Amino acid sequence: MVRVSSWGRLDAHEHELAPLLDRTRVAAQVRGGQGLVQGNARSYGDVCLNPGGRLWRSTSLDRFIAFDPASGRLRCEAGVLLRDIQRMSLAHGWLLPVTPGTQLVTVGGAIANDVHGKNHHLLGSFGDHVLGLSLARTDGSVIECGPDRQPGWFAATVGGMGLTGVIVEAELQLRRVAGPWLVTDTVPFRDLDEFFALADGSEAGWEQTVSWVDCLSGIGRGLFFRANPANIPERAARPSGRAHRVPFVPPVSLVNGLSLRAFNETYFRLNQLKAGRTLAHFEKYTYPLDNLHDWNRMYGPRGFYQYQSVVPREVGRYAVGAMLEAIKASGQGSFLAVLKTFGDRPSRGMMSFPRPGVTLALDFPNRGAATARLFERLDAIVREAGGRIYAAKDARMPRELFESGYPRLAEFLQYRDPGISSAMSRRLIGS
Ligand SMILES: Cc1cc2nc3c(=O)[nH]c(=O)nc-3n(C[C@H](O)[C@H](O)[C@H](O)COP(=O)(O)OP(=O)(O)OC[C@H]3O[C@@H](n4cnc5c(N)ncnc54)[C@H](O)[C@@H]3O)c2cc1C
């Protein structure tokens, strides 16, 4: 047994590790078993944990199977990292259409959480670009599914939190690009009204939009970042700069009221001065934290939570404003505070998180009861707004909020693999 924690480092639990090494043997390996598959453990909470039980680790299933540089179709094993796909495919003029804020996640993990990126308003979520996948179930069956093949299995598995079976391999449609460069633009905003005006005005002309919000200002001031691919045909470029590491876990969180206030003020002012257009390498711009290894140690031995919600656009101004006020009043939060509008495109997955509306994501150092009280307040706002919380980031949402936020839950449960369960499924589904 080995102690394993997820990205939030809230707890480390004993698990029996069972690496998946050979895609032709996965079906035999999981047949009759009880467990959960884990990718690169970049989920913040308990969706990728199975305390006291088995973890089938997929990171050794890291081979490309077939790539057609003419069509941009890639078939690969489920443990391949998005970074490795992009570094291979860029040389041929292709990149993944949708990636999250880190590319150190596996294809299986990206499908199982149906991850989204900064371009949701144009390109939807990861599952929109999956052409097919093969799923090994603990009853010994292997299901080949896709949007047009066994679509029920596909819709349950995209965003299905690993609970429908083990994704062994997948076929993805990549997207043509001229090269790695982006034209970026930074616009400071003073409050939420300005944020929504910028979002409305940018979605048609900019492929990527996302904002940093000063969670201690209460009024929602922040920085609006937007970007488009630059038409510079250079395919080999790697980003400049060295990677760094947070070398150890400090005895207390380095993120506290004092450091946060100083950081937010400086960050806002510096970017206000630098506002405007520039050229950036997509890796540096899109995955800024991937070069700071183990940054999650910064929050000290008690770890941290991420709280990510989405609320409908009609009530977005009010609900986000209320959440920011509650956060300011609590004096908690971190500099990782992200605000983004989602597009109207419906997600393919029954349990996918993205829905039309506005999403707010914030990290919070774990301060025990004080943090729990703040989350109760935020839950009440999300509930009243008719919103939902993102499972990939969650370690504590109440079951009734999960049930009200995901209205296709009963349909999804028909596809559940009875041999698979996670700490999250036991907490939110009861098994
Ligand atoms: C810095 C950072 C930024 C992030 N930004 C974003 C963002 O912008 N948007 C976003 O959507 N998410 C974001 N995330 C969350 C992250 O993208 C997801 O949690 C992702 O699913 C993690 O993938 P993983 O390979 O680490 O999977 P894990 O975290 O190990 O597992 C995630 C889920 O996938 C299941 N799973 C994994 N592999 C398989 C498989 N082969 N078959 C079936 N199920 C499987 C697991 O059982 C689990 O339920 C971010 C995370 C970090 C750390």
* CA distances for 41 relative to 1, 4, 105, 113, 242, angstroms: 17, 9, 8, 12, 24
- Count CB neighbours of 76 within 10 A: 23
pLDDT digits (tens, 9 = 90+) for 286-320: 999 999 999 999 999 999 999 999 999 999 999 99
- What pLDDT shows up at residue 237? 67
Q: Band the pLDDT of 96: cuts 50, 70, 90.
A: very high
119 has pLDDT over 80: yes
58 in ligand 1 pocket by Cβ < 6 Å? yes
166 in ligand 1 pocket by Cβ < 6 Å? yes
- What pLDDT shows up at residue 122? 97
- What pLDDT shows up at residue 360? 97
Instruction: Report the atom number in ligand 1 closest to the C-alpha of 116.
Output: 11
41 in ligand 1 pocket by Cβ < 6 Å? yes
Q: How far apart are CA 62 and CA 85, in angstroms?
A: 10
- What pLDDT shows up at residue 219? 82
59 in ligand 1 pocket by Cβ < 6 Å? no
pLDDT digits (tens, 9 = 90+) for 173-196: 999 999 999 999 999 999 999 999
250 has pLDDT over 90: no
Residue 250 DSSP one-character state = -
Q: How far apart are CA 412 and CA 347, in angstroms?
A: 14
266 or 382, which is more confident? 382
157 in ligand 1 pocket by Cβ < 6 Å? no
- Count CB neighbours of 25 within 10 A: 12
Instruction: Report the atom number in ligand 1 closest to the C-alpha of 112.
Output: 34
Inter-residue contact 53 to 36 (CB < 8 Å)? yes
Mean pLDDT, the chain, as a whole number?
95
Pull the structure tokens for residue 124. 């939807």
82 has pLDDT over 90: yes
Instruction: Report the atom number in ligand 1 closest to the C-alpha of 126.
Output: 11
Q: Could you give the percent of the chain with pLDDT greater than 90?
A: 87
Inter-residue contact 35 to 54 (CB < 8 Å)? yes
Among the ranges given (32-36, 64-68, 244-248, 361-365), the one the predictor scored with the smallest mean pLDDT: 244-248
119 in ligand 1 pocket by Cβ < 6 Å? no
Pull the structure tokens for residue 254. 């380095």
Inter-residue contact 85 to 14 (CB < 8 Å)? no
What pTM does this model have? Answer: 0.97
